Amino acid sequence: MATIGGRAAISRIFTSIPANIREWTRYLQNLFFQKSFTMTFLGTTVPLTGTSNYTVSAGIVTLSIPYMQGTSDETVAYINGFPPEITPRRSHSVPIIVTNNGVDSWGVLVINTDTPHQVFVDPEHTPFDIVGDKGVKGTTITFALD
């Protein structure tokens, strides 16, 4: 997989038709792969970490968000640690389950073209309360790299 400015650049166009199994294998391995990384949730008294697994399939990322919850110490929340190969070329807003002051609800993760990625309490981008429990529940999201 190529990168442009540190971001993923999926190339689905053949510069030439792969001539043998080795070339086909190399081409397909750049389009379809699975990996994991340590994700960090910021905005709590202690940064929270969890292992996130992801699959890339022809430019579509399916990513697991681990359960991470702690005591809120500010109104903003961020998720950090995305590897460059799953950082999209444009921003996306995806629904995730969040905890705000001990109450679970559907929130929004704004996946930017650079890290960190901001988490909000609702689709209107409401910030978190500065007190109580804050975090994200385990969920799976999907977004495009293009």
The answer on pLDDT for 4 being more than 70 is no
Classified as helix, coil or strand, 102 is: coil
The whole-number pLDDT of residue 15 equals 67
The whole-number pLDDT of residue 12 equals 52
DSSP string, 62-94: EEEEPPEEEEB-SS-EEEE---GGG--SS-EEE
CA–CA gap between residue 72 and residue 38 (Å, rounded): 21
| Chain CA centroid to CA 146, Å | 14
Domains observed in the chain: 2-144 (2.60.40.1830)
State mean pLDDT over 21-42: 88
State mean pLDDT over 72-78: 95
The answer on pLDDT for 5 being more than 80 is no
Q: What is the pTM of this model?
A: 0.81
The answer on pLDDT for 80 being more than 90 is yes
Give the DSSP H or E segment for 124: none
